[in-house]
Structure 1
Amino acid sequence: MADGQRLGAAFLAACAEHGERRAVVAGGEELSYARFAALVRERARTLDALLGPDLVNVGLHAANSIDYLLCYYALLVAGRLPFLIDATFGAAELEGIRTSCGVPAFLFDGAEPFPLGGEARAVPDSALTLAVPPAPAGAPESGVPVPGAPEPGASTATCRFTSGTTGAPKCLEFTADAVIAAARTWAAGTGLGPDDRVLCLAGFTNGLAFNTSLLPVFTVGAELHLYQGLPTSGGISRAVTRAAATRLVAFPLAYRLLAAAPRPDVGAFAGVTRAVSAAAVLDPEVRRGFESRYGVRIADYYGIAETGPCTYEREPDRSEGLGTALPGVSVKVVELPTGESEVRVRTDSMAAGYLNAPGALAERLDPDGYYRTGDLGHLADGRLFVTGRLGGPINLAGRKIDPAEIERTLLALDGVTDAAVFADTDANGETVLHAALAGSGRIGRAEVVDACRARLAPFKVPGRVTFLPAIPRSTVGKARMTELRRLVRDTRAADGTPQELEKKA
C-alpha cells in the first residue's frame, strides 16, 4: 500500500470507529462519519476515472469546503499524491509549482477560469473542477509532468507549500507517519476530544489548520465546522453560535476584528474553552482586548511549516511565552558565535524534504537532527519565548528597527486599513524605510509622515510611502514581499513619484 493510501486508510478507520457521530459541518451541509467515508470512497472512484493512470500528482487549489475534504481524502484513498496549494496563489506561483514539482492537474473552485488555462473537466457531484493546463515547453503533451521535474519520495503522502512571502513557495513532502504523528501530537498535547466542536477559519493549506483541524479532529471523533466567506466580527460570532464551538482556530486578524467589534456578541463565546492563534505574533493589546471582552484565553502555539506543531500553552493562567513542548517534540536553544540564541526543534511530524529544492531541508538540520528555525529565543522552566529572527529587525545606519512597531502606528491612523513596512534602498544604495499602505484614501503622505513624527523616534519615520489598493498577503496574514515590492514598484512608476524629494521630506 502506498503511503498516501496508508494515510487515507487511517482516515477511513477513524470514520468507521465514530460511525453516526457528526463529522463535518459547512453552511447548511453536514456529514456523519459513516456518510463522510462513503462519499470519500465514491469520490475516489470518480477521480480515478477522470485522472486515468498518468495523472498522479494533483494540486488542490480551492477554499475550505466539504468538497475540498472529500477530494483530499479521495485522492489519498485512490493512491494519488495531493498538493495542497494556497487558494490565493496566482498564475505565476501555479506555473512555478507545475514546472518545479511536476503537477500536471489541478482541482479548483470552478467559478472562474483556471489561471493557467487548459482543459476543464467537471467532477460529477462536486463544486470543484479538474483543470489540465496545456503542456509547458518541453513536455510532450498535456497532462504529462515537465521533463526533469523531481520525483517525490516513495513514502511521500501529502505535499504542502511554504507561504512564499519572500520568494517562490517551497514544496514540503510529508510521509503518512509524519501527518499521523502531527495529529496525535496535537490531540494528546491539547486535550482534543470527541465532545469538541472546532470552528476553523484557517485554510487547510496552512499548518495552523493542517495540524490542528484537518486530521486531528477526525482522529478523535470530534466535529469540524468550516467558516466560509470573508471574516468579520459579526460573521465569526454568528459562526461560533451556530457551531456551539468549543474551540476556535484562527489567525491573529480574526482576534483583532473581534477585539475591535463595535457591538461584541459576548454570549456567543460562552462555550468556547480554547481560542488558538498562530502564524504571526499576536499584538498584546489585541490579546488583552479579546480576552477581557469575551472571557476566553487565546492560546498561542508555536509551529513551523517544516516541523509541524512544536509547543502549546496548557496552563490557563499563563499570558506570556508560547508554552511547553508537545508530545514527541524536543526544543533546545543554541548560542551562536554571534552571541544570539537560536531556537531549534526536532519532531516526529517533520517534513521529509523540499521536493523542488532537493537537499535544502537537510541543510537546515544540525548534526543532532534539530531544525534550525532562524528564530531567536530562550527557554524558562521548559517554556519557550521567541524574541525575534536571526538577521532580525531592519538595520538602519546601525539602529535596529522593528517594522511591526511602525505598522502598529500606521494602523492606528484614520483611513489606514492595512500597512507593511520594509527595507528599501535609495539611488545611493542606502537603506530607507518604506511604508506601503492600503485604506480609504482619506489620508495623504504628509499626514502619514506627520503622525509618525509625532509618535516615533525620527529614525523610525518612513522615508517612502506608497498607497496601494490592498497589501498582498498569504492566507496566514503575512505580507507577500515579492509581490508587494512589484506592486510598489509598478505603482510608483505609474504615478511618477519623486523618490528623492520624498526621502528628504
Structure 2
Amino acid sequence: MTKAVDLQALAARIAGGLTGPGGPFEITVEPVLGATIPVFRNRRRSLLELLEDSRALGDRDYLVTADSRLTYAQHYEAAGALAAALAERYGVGKGDRVGILAANTPEWVLTFWAAQRLGAIPVGYNAWWAPQEIAYGIGHTEPKVVIADAKRAALLADSGAQVPVLTMENDLPALTAEFAGQYPTAEVAEEDPACILYTSGTTGRPKGVVHSQRNMVAVSDYHRFTDALAAGFRGLPWDGSPTDRRYLNTSPLFHIASLHNLVIPRLTTGDAVIFHSGGFDAEKILGLIESERITNWAAVPTMASRLLDVDVAQYDLSSLSALSLNTAPSSPALHQRLRERVPVAQVALTTSYGCTESGTAATVATPPDLIANPETVGRPIVGVAIEIRDAEGKVVPDGTEGEICVRSPYVMLGYYNDPAATAASIDENRWLRTGDFGFVSEGRLQMAGRRSDLILRGGENVYPAEIENALDEHPLVRESAVLGVPHEDLGQEVAAIIVVADPDSVTEDELRDHVAQRLAYFKVPARWLITADALPRNATGKVLRRELSLGE
C-alpha cells in the first residue's frame, strides 16, 4: 500500500509540473458551450491542424496491413486527393456527412481525414449492421456519399438506401490518382461537429453521437500527456518527438477505442498502427505481435481471455510493453489469469471506464490501482471530473452508490438530430449522465452496473457485474452473464448463463456453492443455463443482454 501511495504522489507531482503554469500541458479554464471547464491552454484548434503537422512525419509507417504499408507522407497526399475528389465530383462541403461503412482498412482512415479537409462530418456506420439497420443509419444522417468496402457496398444495395456509393477497392484508388496533388481546406471552429459514431444499441435504436473538433483534438492531447507523464516516471525529458511504438488495432474503427484513442492520436506521436484483418484468432494475433514487434495493444476483454486458450509461451511477446483492457467490463479473475500467462500483464496491465459519449476513458486503473483494489476502474484522467449522483441529481458521499456523471472537454456535443435525448443526457453545466452506476472510494471509481441491467429482487438491488465477477473466478468458467427474470413473489430472481468448454464438466450445484461462498444469499443465481456457446456481443465486446435467454 505504501508503494502505491508513493507512486500516486509521484504521479501527482509530475502531472503538476506538466499541467501547471508554463508547463507543456498547462490547464486553464474557459467557457465551453455555456459551462466553464478545464482545457489545455496550448492546444490545436482542429483536426486539420493535426493532419497538416503529420506531413513532417514523412516516411514513417502510419497504417500497416498484411499486404500494404502507408507512410504518413503517402497518407497526407492521398487524403488531399480524396478530399478534392469528394468536393469536385460529389459536391461535399462543410457540414455535409460522409458515410463510412467498412471493415478496418487504411481506406477507412483515409476517408475520415479527407472529410476533415472539407469541414465535412465523417459518419462511422457499424460494419456489422444488417441492411435494415444500414437503411436506418443512412436515413438518419443523410450522407452526401458513402464510402464502403465491396462487401458492405452489396449490403447497401440490398438496403434500398438512395445514396452515391464509392468502393474502397476500385473507386478510391482511381479518384486519388486523378486528383493527386490537391489539398483543399476549410475553416472550422472548435465546437463544429467533427465526427458521428453510433452507440452500441444494446437497447433500442442506436443514437448518433456527435463529437466536436475540440473533443477529438483534446483526446489526442490526452494521449500526448500520458506519454509525457510516462517519461517523467522514468526520469526522462519529453519534447514530443516521434516514437517508434507499434499499436495493434483489433477493435472496429467505428468505435472510440480505435478511432479517437488509437488511429487519430498517432498523428501527434508518429507511431504505426497495425491492422488485424478477419475474425479474431488467438494464434494469429500472437503471431502478429511477434512478427510485427507490437508494443501496445488495447484489447477487448473477450479477446484477451481467448489468448489463454492457446500456449502463449510458444510466442515471442517481448516487444509488448503495454496491454490495456477496454470497451467492456473485465473481471479481477481475468486480470490474474493474464498476469500468470502473459508477461507484460505482470507489470503493465491497465483497464479503464468510458463510453462513446465520453469520447475517451473517463477513468484509468494503473497497475498500482489494480493491486490496491482489483475491482476498480481507476481514477479520472487529466481534465475529467467525476460525480456520483442519486436519483434526484444530488452528489452522494464517497462509498455511496449512484449514477456516474462525467464532465470534461472530451464529452460529446450531443446526439445527432435528437435534442430531447441530448438534454436528458447532458445538463446545463455540461455534466454527462452516463446511465452507469458505481461509487468512488479513495479517489478510485468502482462500477456497479447499468441502470437497465439492475435486478430488483424482493426489494434488494442486485447488479449483474458483481455476480459475474464472482462466477469468472471459477476455473472452468470462460464467460458469464447474469440477468433478472420475472418471479411471481420476488418481482425478479437472479439467473445466470455460464459458458464453459464442456457443459458436463460442472454442475449447477457447484456453481451455486461457488457464488454462495463469495456473495450474499440473494445474489446467488436461482436459475442456470450452462452452455458451450459464446455469449452474443456487439462490435465493441459488450454483451447483448436483450438477446440473452435461458432457452426455456
TM-score after normalising by structure 1: 0.77
Q: Does 1:116 align with 2:159?
A: yes
CA displacement at 1:256 relative to structure 2 = 0.8
Q: Does 1:220 align with 2:269?
A: yes
Q: Deviations over 1:476-499 (max 9, x none)?
A: 2112344x16xx59xx6xxxx5xx
Contact 1:346 1:369 in 2 (8 A): yes
CA displacement at 1:199 relative to structure 2 = 1.1
SS of 2:411's partner is coil
Match of 2:338 in 1: 290
Equivalent in 392, 404, 424 of residue 343 of structure 1: 404
CA displacement at 1:64 relative to structure 2 = 1.0
CA displacement at 1:400 relative to structure 2 = 4.1
Counterparts in 2 of 1:218 and 1:316: CA distance versus 1, 3 Å:
farther
Counterparts in 2 of 1:225 and 1:381: CA distance versus 1, 3 Å:
same
Residue pairs, 1:399-410, within 5 angstroms: 399-404=460-465, 405=467, 409=471
Partner amino acid for 1:116?
S
Q: Does 1:251 align with 2:290?
A: no
Contact 2:358 2:412 in 1 (8 A): yes
Match of 1:133 in 2: none
**More moved, 218-227 vs 190-199:** 190-199
Match of 1:209 in 2: 258
Provide the aligned length of Structure 1 versus Structure 2.
456
**More moved, 46-55 vs 390-399:** 46-55
Partner amino acid for 2:60?
R
Match of 1:16 in 2: 55
Match of 1:301 in 2: 352
CA displacement at 1:77 relative to structure 2 = 2.1
2: CA distance, partners of 1:351 / 1:9: 19
Contact 1:57 1:82 in 2 (8 A): yes
**More moved, 28-37 vs 268-277:** 268-277
Equivalent in 83, 87, 102 of residue 62 of structure 1: 102
2: CA distance, partners of 1:226 / 1:124: 16
Partner amino acid for 2:253?
F
2: CA distance, partners of 1:128 / 1:407: 46
SS of 2:203's partner is coil
2: CA distance, partners of 1:332 / 1:410: 29
Equivalent in 360, 370, 375 of residue 436 of structure 2: 375
1: CA distance, partners of 2:449 / 2:165: 47
Match of 1:270 in 2: 318
SS of 1:207's partner is coil
Contact 1:247 1:273 in 2 (8 A): yes
Residue pairs, 1:162-181, within 5 angstroms: 162-181=199-218
Q: Does 1:236 align with 2:285?
A: yes
1: CA distance, partners of 2:410 / 2:472: 39
CA displacement at 1:251 relative to structure 2 = 0.8
SS of 2:99's partner is strand
Q: Does 1:183 align with 2:220?
A: yes
Match of 1:474 in 2: 538
CA displacement at 1:159 relative to structure 2 = 0.5
Structure 2: segments with no counterpart, 5+ residues: 1-44, 174-189, 231-241
2: CA distance, partners of 1:229 / 1:75: 26
Partner amino acid for 2:159?
L
CA displacement at 1:471 relative to structure 2 = 4.1
Match of 1:161 in 2: 198
Contact 2:209 2:414 in 1 (8 A): yes
2: CA distance, partners of 1:227 / 1:13: 27
Counterparts in 2 of 1:466 and 1:322: CA distance versus 1, 3 Å:
closer
CA displacement at 1:392 relative to structure 2 = 6.2
Equivalent in 403, 413, 416 of residue 355 of structure 1: 416
2: CA distance, partners of 1:289 / 1:364: 37
2: CA distance, partners of 1:270 / 1:231: 21
CA displacement at 1:385 relative to structure 2 = 3.1
Counterparts in 2 of 1:317 and 1:481: CA distance versus 1, 3 Å:
closer
Contact 2:508 2:528 in 1 (8 A): no
Partner amino acid for 1:219?
T
Q: Percent identity?
A: 22
Counterparts in 2 of 1:324 and 1:407: CA distance versus 1, 3 Å:
closer
2: CA distance, partners of 1:231 / 1:470: 13
SS of 1:208's partner is coil
Structure 1: segments with no counterpart, 5+ residues: 1-5, 130-152, 498-505
Contact 1:255 1:287 in 2 (8 A): no
Equivalent in 68, 76, 83 of residue 37 of structure 1: 76
CA displacement at 1:170 relative to structure 2 = 0.9
Counterparts in 2 of 1:154 and 1:335: CA distance versus 1, 3 Å:
closer
SS of 2:327's partner is coil
Counterparts in 2 of 1:378 and 1:81: CA distance versus 1, 3 Å:
same
Equivalent in 357, 379, 400 of residue 324 of structure 1: 379
Counterparts in 2 of 1:384 and 1:118: CA distance versus 1, 3 Å:
closer
Match of 1:142 in 2: none
Counterparts in 2 of 1:480 and 1:325: CA distance versus 1, 3 Å:
same
2: CA distance, partners of 1:302 / 1:254: 17
Q: Deviations over 1:258-312 (max 9, x none)?
A: 2x23311465321222112122221212111112222213211222211222223
Counterparts in 2 of 1:110 and 1:284: CA distance versus 1, 3 Å:
same
1: CA distance, partners of 2:309 / 2:320: 18
Match of 1:140 in 2: none
Match of 1:147 in 2: none
Partner amino acid for 1:287?
H
1: CA distance, partners of 2:227 / 2:365: 9
Contact 1:196 1:245 in 2 (8 A): yes
Match of 2:13 in 1: none
CA displacement at 1:408 relative to structure 2 = 7.0
CA displacement at 1:367 relative to structure 2 = 5.0
Match of 1:144 in 2: none
1: CA distance, partners of 2:204 / 2:419: 16
Contact 1:449 1:462 in 2 (8 A): no
**More moved, 315-324 vs 234-243:** 315-324
Partner amino acid for 2:381?
L
Q: Does 1:25 align with 2:25?
A: no
2: CA distance, partners of 1:356 / 1:428: 43
Match of 1:312 in 2: 364
Contact 2:200 2:206 in 1 (8 A): yes
1: CA distance, partners of 2:276 / 2:438: 34
Counterparts in 2 of 1:231 and 1:316: CA distance versus 1, 3 Å:
farther
Partner amino acid for 2:203?
T
2: CA distance, partners of 1:331 / 1:454: 37
- For the aligned residue pairs, the C-alpha RMSD in angstroms reads 3.7
SS of 2:540's partner is coil
1: CA distance, partners of 2:78 / 2:461: 55
Equivalent in 64, 68, 76 of residue 116 of structure 2: 76
Q: Deviations over 1:416-444 (max 9, x none)?
A: 9765443233799953555567788x759
Contact 1:308 1:347 in 2 (8 A): no
Q: Does 1:96 align with 2:136?
A: yes
